[in-house]
Amino acid sequence: MPTLMPISPCLLKSAIPRLSTVATLAFILSPSSLLAQDQLAGQERTALEDETTATPIPLVPTEPTWDSFHGQLNAQKYSPLDQINADNVGELEKVWEVHTGDISDGSGELPATVWSATPVFANDTLYLGTPFYRILALDPASGEEKWSFDTQSSLEPLTQPALKNRGVAYWQAEDPMAGELCQKIIYMGTMDAQLFAVDADSGERCEGFANNGVLNVNQWNDTHDHWPLSLLQPPTVVGDRLILGWAGMDWAYAQAPPGTVFAINARTGELEWTFQALSEQMREQSGTANVWTHMSADEERGLVYLPVSSPSPNFWGGNRTEEVPLATSTTALDIETGDVVWSRQWVHHDIWDYDTVAAPTLMDITVGGEEIPALLQATKTGFLFVVNRETGEDVWPIEERPVPGGDGTVEGEVYAPTQPFPTKPVPLLDQSEKPKVWALADALSFGQCSRLWEELWYEGLYTPPTTRGEGTMGYPITAGGPQWGGVAFGPESQTAIVNTSHIVQTLKLYDREAYEKADSGSGNESGFAPQEGAPYGIRLEIAQNWLGMPCWEPPFGELVALDMTTGDIKWRRPVGASQQHGFFMPESWGSPTIGGPAVTAGGIIFIGASMDAKVRAYSLETGEQLWSDQVEAPSVSNPAVYEYNGRQYVAFVAGGNTILKDQVGDQIAVYALPDIGSEGS
């Protein structure tokens, strides 16, 4: 029986407003499990939708589509195009590139740029957002600029250590009226919480949207407003709604802005509903549990799926000892109302910043001869949870298992006695014991790594933070495992593809007096952070020697293929090459990765993501590397696969991320087969 979020009768009534009074009373009075209630709700919803929906909305679009952050709303990052296949992918050539000029390495007046935008192909145009908060509309065959729009946003790092952008969102009316502006709209947010809407054909502001084409989302930031609600991730567009989350400042405050999700009318910017993961009381004493990454949606079932992050402060939970069931979860909402339909919490009482980091991938799979509408949620822990996307019920059993408690050094903390563990698929990395010290790094540092290992406390995954020694070993903590690029899925072979990092981090708590003495600054997602208002500040670092070498054995990153009919791993291989001090390491060691894969009906996986600033193609069937090319900086974004005038293209943004290394770029690199001309696929 799955551990689903308990829902009160009042919430159940609000969550099924379209059901009959008899059905509603049956929900409230029945002593049956929540699972049975969810199944009944699914049956009633399906029956109602069958009556009211003339044409079913397929989970996988019938035409090649790459019009959102993960390609499609299902987050499969899948293209049915097969012009490029295992036999000819080695012939790919760069057919055009563009340099935006929106770049900073942080050495001047501007902070460094982090560019993770997925190119969006829609309206016969390739659309991108830049870290200087400009929107570009490019010809998909040549890269020639059709138009650009400058938000004139302040280039200040208000909530992030860098200028950051993950691109744009696209919407169009069901029946666009020729000659009228803003029947097709491009949306992009800024770090200071302004959401811009411009006409997709001309780049002109949509005057009917909010205030002359700009929505000030920060107007709703009314609790612990230490920072603006930064709009770094483009909205998730579902029908005529924009589902909008936001990003904030990591590890800074105990009481932080609570993580509201906003549903906004796509035409007008009018607020339609909101979702809060925290109770009223918890919003006063804690905060966040926001959705800072993209979401996915099943339009036919009327559900949008939220990957919800952890509450604040991230590494101490003494101010939130009661249950917070929607935090660090996947939560399914009714698209029309924002009411909770079901929720699964992946980490209880999260004190490791194990944000649910990626949009869950929706897929139809066959398990034991049964067709299952499934959802696969990748998590930072290296776990992949698979549930029925209608009900939240386990596909393969998810077990509550005992986990380590505290060591008595942290005042006010209360630890969860168990955590959810999936039985299938197996974890992407072995967290059961300390990773082995890398002999090479240890020898070159004269035993520094071995000494560090002796000073770190580790009793397996979920070892709590401590104030002792060098602190707790995290394998993994914030760096993952998988990251926000998420899981790709090939529906023909029912194969899931995920890239995962293997990174060891150290986490130590300091009481306030000790923190003031120890604090020596921070970098991008590392170093010291105050958790102001909590009894403890933190230090979080990569476990490496004085030469900058990882202290744990490679590989440092892998690409993994899973058979979703069995939950078994089909193959796994190191991905990319690590780089340090200008030297590339052997590819057998792999690389930490940021950004996700794409998969095609041609049997190809495309991915950038690695430190060595290469983009690659792999065989979906075997994992063999079939092609690669060097780009300007690590391509820490999801690639886009699209067809234009009969030719298949693959587009990568090479923008870099200083979490991987100090190399940034402003390049869009687009590839195709040579001499195809206008032949069909």
- Known catalytic residues are 353
Contact 224, 253 (CB under 8 A): yes
Of the candidates 196, 165, 172, 98, the residue with the CA atom closest to the CA atom of residue 138: 98
Determine the distance from the C-alpha atom of residue 206 to the mean position of all C-alpha atoms in its chain, rounded to a whole number: 29
Residue count (the chain): 681
What angle do the packed helices 21-29 and 34-52 form, to 10 degrees?
170
Distance between CA 388 and CA 74 in Å, rounded? Answer: 14
Task: Output Rg (C-alpha) for the chain, integer angstroms.
Answer: 24
Contact 429, 441 (CB under 8 A): no
Tell the residue number behind the tokens 């993580």, with chain if given: 259
Distance between CA 258 and CA 225 in Å, rounded? Answer: 9
Of the candidates 435, 428, 422, 433, the residue with the CA atom closest to the CA atom of residue 461: 433
DSSP lists the bridge partners of residue 490 as: 495
DSSP lists the bridge partners of residue 265 as: 241
Contact 264, 239 (CB under 8 A): no
Tell the residue number behind the tokens 């009482």, with chain if given: 349
Of the candidates 649, 638, 653, the residue with the CA atom closest to the CA atom of residue 671: 649
Contact 607, 616 (CB under 8 A): yes
Distance between CA 363 and CA 222 in Å, rounded? Answer: 38
- β-bridge pairing 568-574 and 303-307: unpaired
Contact 81, 64 (CB under 8 A): yes
